[in-house]
Every structure is written in C-alpha cells, then in structure tokens.
Homo-oligomer: A and B are copies of this chain.
Amino acid sequence: MDRTVSCYDCGETYTAAERKRCDCGEPLWFDVDPDGFEWPDAGSVDDMWRYADALPVSDSAGIAPGGTPLFRANRLDDYAGCSLSLKNEGQSPTGSFKDRGSAVGIRGTIESGAEWVGTVSHGNMALSTSAYAASAGLECAVFVPADTPPERLELIARHDPHVFRVDGDYGRLYSDTLSLDVGVNFVNSDTPLRVAGQKTVAYEILEQLAPAVPDAISLPVSSGGQASAIWKALRDLARAGVIDEVPRLFLCQAAACDPIATADRNGDTEVTPVTPAETIAVSIANSEPPSGTHALTAARDTGGAVVSVSDEEIRDATDRIATRAGLSVEPSSAVAVAGVRQLCQRGALEASDDVVAILTGSGYKERYGTDVRSRTIGVDDIAGALTSVVDG
C-alpha cells in the first residue's frame, strides 16, 4: 500500500495509504509500469489474478473473479446494427462486474493491516464486498440507502455483514465514508483499489480478442468508476504497445437519470447532479456520480460518447438479450446493448463495426415482471397439446 496513486486530471501524485481522492476533487488511480506489461500467455483467461503484475496487490486464494466469457452474439447483430460481442460479467461469483474490484479491495485491505472493509452501495457492490470479505475472514460494514428493498438486503445478509440503512443524501454518504478514520477501509465504487480491479475486464476483452482490437466498447455508467477503470486499462495497453489503437468508449445511462449524458450533450466539461426520475435500471441510477467528470473525459478522449436510453429501449434490449442470446441480464446491463442500437441507428457506429457490450450483472437477483404465457394440461394430454403448438 506504499504504491503511488495519481490524478488523471491534474497529474498530482500521492501514496495509496494517504489518499483516495485528489486535492482537486477528482478520483485517483494506481499507475502501471508500461515495460512490465505483457499478456501472461496467449489465449485463455482463467481468472483475473493472471494480471496480478498490473495490480497493486498480490493474488489471493478463495473465490476469484474474472475469466468471464466473451462471445459473438450473431443473433443480435440485426437488432444492434453492427457486429456485436457480449462480455458476460453476470457469470462472476456474485453475479456482477463488482467482484473484480471487491477482490482487489479486500486483498488491499488485508495487506494494509485493517480488519474491516466498508462500502456504500445500492446493491451489487454491497453484495460483492460482503461476499469477498466473508471469504477472506474480514469484518464488513455496508451502508445502503434506507429505502433499499428487503429482497436485495436478503441477498447481502447471507454473507453476514454489518448493514447500515442510511437516511439522507447518498452523495454525501459516499464522500463522508472516504474520510472516516475509524479503522475501516472503504472500497467505494471509484476508490483506487476498486478501480484497479475493475480494469481487468478490459485486459480480458483485449486478450480474448487478440490480435483483433474491437472498434468500440459499450457499457453502462453509474458512478463512473468502471468507465474510468476501462479507460485506464486501455491506456495501460496502448502505452505498453500491446494495442495500437484504443477502442472508442460508449457509456450508457437510463434517460431518467443521466447526468453524464446530459453534460456530454450540453458540451459541458464537468458533470453536475440531476434530479432523478424512476427507472427500471435501478443499479445505475446515480444522480450525482463521483467519477462523472472522469467518465465524461474517458468517452470524449477515446472518440466515444455518453448515450441516454429510455426505459422502453432498456426493456426491449433486456428481452432481446434473453430471447436471442440466451442470457438473463439485469435491465441496468441491457442499457449497454440499447445504447449500441441507438448509436447504430443514428450513424455514430456502423454496421461493419466490431462492438463489445459489457453485460455487467446477472438478471437472477431481481424479478421484472416478464409475462408468463403458459397453459395447464393433464398428463394424458401432452402429445395432443404439444402437437397443436408444433404444427400450429
């Protein structure tokens, strides 16, 4: 934990033990030695500890994230409007992309000598942090909004963390926890340890496709931590000479809560809070994203953009991913595919583009009211009932 963290924006550096945010207010990230970077070996991708040399912690036993599948989703090409591949982070141990950062965060906490880890989250990150803390024998504190639904808390509670339901401003809760000095290491969504772990999804995508490089990567954006991590990983790879060109980053938000897309549309250089409306993309409804400006910079720097999609587009994409690619994803993940479709429709992406959409989380943690079309029959009627639909 005596490694250096730096500010992408003003360039200031600190030691990791010292700080989680820059004096200028922006988040910090760990640097990687460009000469020390190469693909561990060709082809296969077991888990993210294969990238341990590019991480600020040593590897760890127990449950390990990474090694999620990347596959061509041919049957979605027409819908998306381009050549679409899917990176399915829903197959992580706790069902979301958050596991990568949790694994590094827990390991970094242990290496720092702390016995407690904490996080501030609406759901996936609280679950992931609790699970990794449990697997490592660390005490864990999670702070969630007071109105977090009981079915989400039930999943978190299985790993037996200390759960605090907090009344009051979420943005303030997020930032206040980072300056607490009570022996708890907070691994929030854009803290350097988490961002370092989240980078590995981009390493994996590039390694899984190597020597090809995708034209674009599309992902949902909420706090901006994941976008920042992927941008950093692509810069690592470019600096190390592993890739010549950096894929364009397209960041996708639900229109009901889209502060980063709003800033992009308006040509602003900073992201400011919005008043959120209801959306089915609950996991990404962050009206005051702590790495929002960072994410906006990442999209622009790579020639990408930040996209807003309606709940109707999100529902439709969720449905298409299930019926044409066979994956059940949370609506917050489907925004990455809905965004690609919109970008292709308006010409920002072309039919010949190779695009990777990151599906950030499994659809099994929530119900979203799919219509069940079924008929009830007797066991004597199976042949007749089946024939009627097969021939029908």
Contacts and interface: CB of A to CB of B under 8 A. Distances in A.
Interface of A: 44-47, 61-64, 67, 69, 71-75, 88, 91-95, 116, 118, 131-137, 139, 141, 143, 146, 150-151, 153-160, 162-169, 172-173, 176-177, 180, 182-184, 319, 322-328, 362-365, 367, 369-380, 382-383, 385-387, 389-390
A134 B328 CA distance: 11
Given A137-B75, A323-B160, A46 B47 contact: no
Contact of A383 (B63, B158, B180, B370): B180
A184 B71 contact: no
Protomer copies: 2
A387 B169 CA distance: 20
Contact of A71 (B61, B182, B319, B372): B61
A325 B132 CA distance: 8
A92 B93 contact: no
Contacts of A116: 390
B364 A62 contact: no
Given A72-B61, A159-B322, A93 B95 contact: no
16 contacts: A45-B46, A62-B326, A63-B71, A64-B69, A91-B92, A94-B328, A132-B326, A134-B322, A141-B390, A156-B372, A158-B319, A166-B378, A176-B379, A182-B383, A184-B386, A364-B364
Contacts of A362: 95, 362, 364
A374 B153 contact: yes
B326 A135 contact: yes
Given A93-B327, A116-B390, A157-B371, 13 more contacts: A63-B325, A64-B71, A67-B69, A133-B326, A135-B324, A136-B326, A141-B390, A151-B367, A159-B323, A172-B379, A176-B379, A180-B383, A182-B386
CB-CB nearest 3 A-B residue pairs: A168-B379, A135-B326, A163-B374
A75 B131 contact: no
Contacts of A67: 67, 69
B164 A386 contact: yes
From DSSP, what is the main secondary structure of chain A's interface residues? Answer: mixed
A134 B323 contact: yes
A326 B159 contact: yes
A36 to B, nearest CB: 22
A203 to B, nearest CB: 16
B64 A118 contact: no
A327 B131 contact: yes
Contacts of A73: 62
Contact of A385 (B75, B164, B390): B164
A97 to B, nearest CB: 13
Contacts of A328: 94, 131, 155, 158-159
A163 B386 contact: no
A183 B153 CA distance: 46
From A64, A71, A180, A323, name the one whose CB has the most chain B CB atoms within 10 angstroms: A323
Given A159-B326, A160-B323, A323-B134, A166 B379 contact: yes
